[in-house]
Chain A
Amino acid sequence: MINNDLKIEMMRKMLMIRHLENAWGDAYLNEEIDGIPPSLSTGQEAVSVGACMALEKGDFVFTTHRGQAPQVAMGLDPQRIMAELYCREAGYNKGKSYHVSDFSRGVVGMGGIVAGQVPVAGGMALAHKMKGSDRVSLCFFGDGASNEGAVHETANLAAIWNLPLIMLCENNGYCISLPVSRQINTTHISDRAAGYGMPGEWVDGNDPVAVYETVSKAVKRARSGDGPSFIEAITNRLSGHLVHDPQRYRSKEEVESAWEQCPIRGFGNKLQSEGLLDAGSFSAMEAGIKQEVQAAVAFARQSPPPASGEAFEDLWA
């Protein structure tokens, strides 16, 4: 059940995701860091926050390339996330991949290959089951990824083997430039769940409480041995596919209307109307988080890059 402290925490995490990612995006746009441009989850924060807060220690998440949201939501240290985004040795992966992982906290950062993480998440669920543990495995994947064979295969396998797998599809409306209407021929991606042989539903991905409650139901099912679930969280991608993407394939009006549904704004209004977080407290919270993010950037900036020998480490166990 959701309590008020949890809701405040949700807002905090959503703000952290927003500001951490903006700082990363700025670092790239200001040419402080180089390489493949950042992929931000702007507008999608509520999905990861609601979902991850429904999990417990020992559960695992497998991320997409927009991994910062689950990383923050699972409680990873913003300083070490930022250090990784800056490719510094102090980062979680020693600066070797911005798909940040912290295995000890149940975060496996993937997404370099769209949907590549989904079969692996299925395997973690299999391990939980074979070891007689009641822990669950949750994989994030997008509307674009939902069409990959890896997703269909994993869903079917999870259903026939009754795996404790939660398949969480973040439908943000676009696979880079392709709108969902041109990607699927049904109304909802979650319509496929029945075909796979598992329960499925869609949820308002901009409402962290709704996501939390939906994922909690799925987690409970999985823990009690009732197998996998397919959840489609409907949300918006407010930034480009990558931060430098001008999104010319979207009209100004469409983008503006998507911003109206910003989950931070929406949830902030809700908390205010519930008397849980007034405007002043919200500003104070946001100011505090911005300071934390600045500290994270400072930490990243002064962290050394990995030594050149590191290129040859960690190939073999």
Chain B
Amino acid sequence: MIDRRLFRSEGKISPEKREWPNFRGAIKEAMREEMRRDENVFQMGEDIAGASPFGVTAGLVKEFGPERLRDTPCSEVAVLGAAIGAGLGGMRAIMEFQFGDFMSVAIDQLTHQAAMLRYLTGGQVSVPIVVRLPCGGGQRCGSQHSQSLYSWFAHAPGIKVALPSTALDAKGLMKSAIRDDNPVLFFEHKALYRTRWPVPDEFKDEDYLIPFGQSAVRREGSDITIVATLVMVHYALEAADLLAKENIFVEVIDPRTLVPLDTGSILKSVKKTGRLLVVDEAYLTCGMQGEIIALVSENIFQDLKAPPRRLGNPGVPVPFEPSLEDTVLPTTEKILKAVREMVAA
């Protein structure tokens, strides 16, 4: 279970921390600012105006009205197509899938139409859309509401993929996504929505954008590199704290975007440490964990002190039953075990 008190291990949230922006609020703030800045930005999704399921769009309809916050029927194919066509016509749509797993319903519009129209027309058009996808397990939502499917779509040319793990990332990446003229998938881990984060002053800057293809070094270390995403970043940091007491120093790299990927930072880190562990909730078979390992093996094989390893969902639907779900997903414990084995070898 991803503890809903994640990052509040000290107990009730202190008054000071209550001031920190929360993850879902950071996304909303980004969208609000961009909608004020550019009248062509609008949103579509099920219940986003009337009854925002995860609260990310709650209240925006009061400021922007129902034309720009459009509740849609259950028609993911038509709505995503509408986002694409509206993009051709000069609008900039943000579409929410109520659960990111539902992206499967409209794959053709994403991978064949949005992603390929520019290429097939020889550059005559662009498709400036953002697709918001609540993702991730650990909350007992079941197999069809708990997946981390970015690997499916990162595989298709022409799609950018963002994986924000903190409120600052969420805001900066969402603003970049909205201003990007390409199709962007913005994955929001459901367990992060209510988490609160200290943020630097730049957070308030309406033009603070985090560029795609720029990872974040969450922690420096010399013995092993962990590349992790979303909630796994925080588990990796938790493990790193514990491992430091055993004199194992872990470097944690958070790619923040899967496409484009900041390969340079990952290679630089693994050259330094000689060891790589990739931790993500994606299914291992053909998952992004393997992609990162392939890139490292191709480029700096001679710098590796140990075979790279990966943690993820071994390849079963994410179980609904709590203890089964906990068995399947990566945890801090599994990270600790893997790192100790890799360093000892």
Contact = CB atoms under 8 A, between A and B. Distances in A.
The answer to whether A and B belong to the same complex is yes
A118 B281 CA distance: 35
Nearest to A131: B90
Nearest to A89: B122
A150 interface: yes
Interface in B87-115: 87-91, 93, 108-109, 112-113
A317 B160 CA distance: 11
A123 B81 contact: yes
A110 B182 CA distance: 19
Interface in A149-163: 149-150, 153-154, 156-157, 160-161
Interface in A66-123: 91-97, 99, 101-104, 108-110, 112-113, 116-123
B78 to A, nearest CB: 4
18 contacts: A102-B124, A110-B117, A112-B112, A116-B81, A116-B108, A119-B77, A120-B109, A120-B113, A123-B93, A126-B82, A127-B86, A127-B90, A153-B79, A154-B82, A315-B158, A316-B158, A317-B126, A317-B127
B101 to A, nearest CB: 18
Interface stretch (B67-75, B144-152, B247-255): B67-75
Nearest to B120: A97
B83 interface: yes
B119 A130 contact: no
Contact of B120 (A93, A130, A154, A313): A93
B126 A123 contact: no
Contacts of B119: 96-97, 314-315
A160 to B, nearest CB: 7
Given A112-B112, A150-B78, A314-B122, A120 B90 contact: no
A131 B91 contact: yes
B157 interface: yes
Contacts of A157: 72-73, 75, 78-79, 82
Given A96-B122, A154-B78, A314-B119, A121 B112 contact: no
A279 to B, nearest CB: 41
B186 interface: no
A124 interface: yes
Interface of B: 42, 67, 70, 72-73, 75, 77-91, 93, 108-109, 112-113, 117-128, 157-158, 180-182
Given A94-B122, A101-B121, A127-B86, 12 more contacts: A60-B89, A96-B119, A109-B121, A118-B81, A119-B81, A119-B82, A120-B81, A123-B82, A150-B81, A154-B78, A157-B75, A315-B119
Interface residues of A, number: 47
A137 interface: yes
B14 to A, nearest CB: 44
Interface string A175-192: 000000000000000000
A128 interface: yes
A62 to B, nearest CB: 8
Contacts of B79: 119, 153, 157
A125 interface: yes
A156 to B, nearest CB: 7
A314 B83 contact: no
B106 to A, nearest CB: 9
B69 to A, nearest CB: 13
A314 B116 CA distance: 9
Contacts of A122: 78, 81-82, 85
B157 A315 contact: yes
Contacts of B180: 317
A95 B120 CA distance: 9
Interface string A282-317: 000000000000000000000000000000011111
Nearest to A92: B122
Contacts of A60: 89
Nearest to A103: B124
Given A96-B119, A113-B108, A123 B67 contact: no
